[in-house]
């Protein structure tokens, strides 16, 4: 397949770098300020060194990337809320050209799922978005295999930053601010960690899961979201005395979407440590399934994108 990769952050960069290994070529590669387009295949290494020097992968416009020859548009621009732009318009442009779309950007799938499916219905292209939930974890593929109607509830630890902070607080008896500063030093937390520690990122992933289970209808506004910023170390101590610990858990079931700090058994399945993620599915006939793994990271998330590309049907 020929890929147009939009977004040159950690994920977009890894998709472009790994595409060849998966048997694909990159015919367009764009970041927020420019694009490299070549029908015979963009020289990814050259584009990335150009980006390191000048700040952009190429001198052409994003529009040039959108109108290039490609089979699959990989939408890996930063997640935006509300109208989910510019990601949504990029997806629209590809579907209107009857091209496939694979998203790593959560915005369009969480905030405009129904619009996205409408566009897909009128297109010869398909939309896939494994990378939006749990990074490398094949959560959506597993749900697809089981049948969304046979999954009755989903619980998950879907934000590595929040999980790192809570598990370090519990293990070291340190306060929130201290551990957060450490996480920022390690590059586990962003300079502005609010998206992660306020629960928004985990909630977007849960909203996507809810949309998949119920065929749409959910946006971030439907989720009941609480973060971890106000949790004192003493609360973790009390939980530990009782054989429990606190994790930022997302829960998706018939009652809707809830994300917040929850008490879980200290040695239970959900109490993954560090930046690990886990998705726990309750199913009608298959019991409980747990899939854990790396929920973020360039190559990890790119592997989910490229698995999606591999699942796409050929375009005539």
Partner 1 sequence: MAAVSEEVRAFTVRLELVDEPGELLRALEPIAENGGNLLSIFHERGNVTPRGHIPVEVDLEATEDRFDTIVDALREAGVNVIQAGEDRYGEELAVVLVGHLVDTDLSDTLSRVEDCGGVSVSDVSLTAPDGTAEESAARLRLVASTAGRDRALETVRSIAAEKDLRVIEPLADGGEA
Whether residue 145 contacts residue 152, with contact meaning beta carbons closer than 8 Å, is answered with: no
Q: Which of 114, 118, 122, 237 binds partner 1 (CB under 8 A)?
A: 237
Nearer to partner 1, 114 or 237 (CB): 237
The H helix count followed by the E strand count for the chain is 13, 12
Residue 263 is encoded by which pair of tokens? 């008490």
Q: How far is the CB of 241 from partner 1 (least distance, A)?
A: 7
Q: How far apart are CA 61 and CA 123, in angstroms?
A: 25
Instruction: Report the C-alpha gap between 94 and 131 in whole angstroms.
Output: 18
- Please tell me the count of residues contacting partner 1 according to CB under 8 A: 30
Minimal distance in Å, beta carbon 230 to partner 1? 6
232 is a site residue for partner 1 (CB under 8 A): yes
By beta-carbon proximity to partner 1, the closer residue of 152 and 194 is 152
Residue 271's alpha-carbon distances to 41, 164, 176, in angstroms, are 44, 11, 18
Q: Among 75, 251, 300, 308, which residue sits at the site for partner 1 (rule: CB under 8 A)?
A: 251
Q: Shortest gap between Cβ of 198 and partner 1 (angstroms)?
A: 13
CA dist list (Å): 198 to 184, 192, 194, 230, 261: 16, 11, 5, 10, 10
| Binding of residue 242 to partner 1 (CB under 8 A) | yes
291 binds partner 1, rule: CB under 8 A: no
Stretch that binds partner 1, among 113-121, 180-188, 193-201, 259-267 (CB under 8 A): 259-267
Tokens of 54: 């000048």
Indicate whether 214 belongs to the interface with partner 1 (CB under 8 A): no
Q: What distance in Å separates the CA atoms of residue 186 and residue 55, rounded to the nearest whole number? A: 24
**Measured over all CA atoms, what is the biggest interatomic distance in the chain, rounded to whole angstroms?**
62
239 binds partner 1 (CB under 8 A): yes
Residue 59 or 152: the one with the smaller Cβ distance to partner 1 is 152
Tell me: does residue 230 bind partner 1 (CB under 8 A): yes
| 241 sits near partner 1 (criterion: CB under 8 A) | yes
Q: Which of 51, 205, 244, 247 is catalytic?
A: 205
3-state secondary structure of 223: strand
Selected from 55, 149, 268, 310, the binder of partner 1 by CB under 8 A is 268
CB-CB neighbours of 186 under 10 Å: 10
Euclidean distance between CA atoms 34 and 47, whole angstroms: 10
Q: Which of 170, 264, 279, 309 binds partner 1 (CB under 8 A)?
A: 264
Say what the alpha-carbon torsion angle 240, 246, 251, 256 is, to the nearest 10 degrees. Answer: 110
In the complex, the smallest distance separating the C-beta of residue 288 from partner 1, rounded to whole angstroms, is: 9
If the CB atoms of residues 10 and 153 are measured against partner 1, the closer one turns out to be 153
CA–CA gap between residue 308 and residue 310 (Å, rounded): 5
51 assigned to active site: no
177 contacts partner 1 (rule: CB under 8 A): no
Question: How far does the chain reach from its first CA to its final CA, in angstroms?
Answer: 12
Q: Which two tokens stand for residue 172?
A: 């070291």
Taking residues 127 to 166 in sequence order and writing x for each that binds partner 1 by CB under 8 A, - otherwise, the string is --------------------------x-x-----------
| Site for partner 1, rule CB under 8 A | 153, 155, 226, 230-232, 234-235, 237-239, 241-242, 244, 246, 249, 251, 253, 255, 258, 260-265, 268-270, 282
Which residues are designated catalytic?
205
């Amino acid at each position: 397949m020929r890929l147009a990769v939009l977004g040159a952050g950690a994920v977009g960069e890894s998709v472009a770098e790994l595409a060849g290994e998966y048997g694909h070529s990159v015919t367009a590669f764009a970041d927020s300020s420019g694009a490299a387009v070549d029908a015979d295949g963009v020289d990814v290494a050259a584009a990335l060194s150009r980006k390191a020097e000048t700040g952009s992968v190429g001198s052409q416009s994003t529009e040039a990337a959108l109108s290039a020859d490609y089979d699959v548009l990989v939408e890996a621009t930063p997640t935006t809320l509300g109208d989910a732009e510019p990601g949504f318009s990029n997806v629209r442009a590809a579907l209107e050209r009857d091209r496939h779309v694979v998203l790593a950007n959560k915005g369009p799938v969480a905030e405009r799922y129904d619009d996205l499916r409408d566009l897909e219905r009128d297109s010869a292209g398909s939309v896939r978005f494994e990378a939006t939930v749990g990074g490398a974890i094949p959560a959506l593929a597993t749900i697809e295999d089981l049948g969304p109607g046979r999954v009755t509830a989903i619980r998950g630890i879907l934000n590595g930053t929040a999980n790192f902070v809570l598990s370090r607080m519990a293990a070291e008896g340190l306060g929130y601010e201290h551990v957060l500063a450490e996480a920022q030093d390690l590059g586990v937390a962003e300079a502005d960690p609010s998206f992660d520690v306020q629960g928004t990122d985990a909630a977007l992933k849960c909203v996507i899961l809810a949309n998949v289970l119920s065929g749409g209808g959910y946006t971030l506004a439907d989720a009941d979201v609480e973060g971890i910023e106000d949790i004192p170390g003493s609360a973790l101590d009390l939980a530990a005395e009782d054989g429990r610990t606190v994790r930022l858990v997302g829960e998706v079931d018939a009652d809707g979407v809830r994300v917040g700090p929850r008490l879980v058994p200290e040695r239970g399945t959900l109490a993954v440590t560090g930046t690990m993620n886990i998705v726990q599915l309750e199913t009608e006939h298959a019991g409980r399934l747990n899939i854990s793994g790396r929920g973020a990271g360039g190559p990890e998330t790119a592997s989910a994108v490229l698995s999606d590309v591999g699942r796409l049907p050929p375009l005539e």
